[in-house]
Amino acid sequence: MTFDLRQLTAFTTIVATGSLGRSAEALHVTQPALSRTIKRLEEQLGAPLFERHSKGMQLTAIGQALLPHATLLLREAAHAAEEIAAMRGLAKGVIRVGAVGSIASLILPQAISDVLKKHPSLHVQVIEGVWDRLTDALIKHEVDLALGMAVANTEEICAITDCRWEDTSYVVAAGEHPLRRQGPLQLTDTLDQQWALPPQGTGPFEQMQQVFQAHGLPLPNIAVQTRSVTMLKSLVTRSGFLSWMPGPMFEVDRKAGLIAALDINGASATRTLTAFRRQQGILPGPAVKLLEALRALTLGH
């Protein structure tokens, strides 16, 4: 079955707005013309897509089944048009990528720099966040690559297995934190300190929790939970909090004497990082170029 992109655009717009009137206004067409477009699509499918109600239009079971496919087809068409326009010199190609904090701090900037040296017409959009935010962005097509901790594939996203590397996380504190004056430290010395961490359920939180469990210890005093890397670092450097961070995330701060790992035997953990893409669809050309740069940087890590 062949789909008309104009019909799919009309369909997804009605889903988004909930009414023919608002959709016709958004698409700059008359309401009767929009109704005819949807009617042709319904005739092609042999089933109604919407139930008409006084409060608007609701999807039928057939409409619900069509929606994710229509969204994917429109996204792929937009990516294709964007890439062809970039190749013809009519527009810039766009790299859309998401990354956890440690990657956004080191590997990703290097990869972006390498790509832009070779392809200066490209434009880059970056989302930084913890993994649940990046997964959502990848599924919703806000990004085409997501860089984070290696986890199991799902029905919607999968790892790119030849783009992997590792980093190590530590208990960190400000350069002048009082614990540094106590001599040999044990993990138990951190229990009563105030901690700031990403939220429970995120990779960093779970990794830290596993380290404490391996030592037979309960969780420390987690006073603040935030997804903001800037806030975490500020709480460590300005307010004396402890945190759990991968080395690349605080490397610049370490060189400046602001944040460093506490010297605690066994208080570190290594994780594997990788790139992820959507299971369905073609990886856009600009994203492929970034992936090639990431592979070159991570080779041998």
Residue span of the structural domain in which 226 resides: 168-269
Same structural domain for residues 263 and 173? yes
Residue range 6-34: average pLDDT?
90
Say which amino acid occupies 173: A
Assess whether pLDDT exceeds 80 at residue 54.
no
Domains contained in the chain, number: 3
Local structure of residue 19 (DSSP, 8 states): S
Out of 22, 52, 87, a domain closes at 87
* pLDDT tens column, 129-140: 888 889 999 988
DSSP 228-278: -HHHHHHHHHHH--BEEEEGGGGHHHHHTTSEEE--BTT-EEEEEEEEEEE
* 221 — pLDDT class (breaks 50, 70, 90): very high
**pLDDT at position 190, please?**
97
Same structural domain for residues 65 and 110? no
To the nearest whole number, what is the mean pLDDT of the chain? Answer: 90
The domain that holds 124 is classified in CATH as 3.40.190.10
255 or 88: which carries more pLDDT confidence? Answer: 255
* pLDDT tens column, 237-280: 999 999 999 998 999 999 999 999 999 999 999 999 999 999 98
Assess whether pLDDT exceeds 70 at residue 172.
yes
Same structural domain for residues 195 and 258? yes
**pLDDT at position 92, please?**
64
pTM across the whole model? 0.67
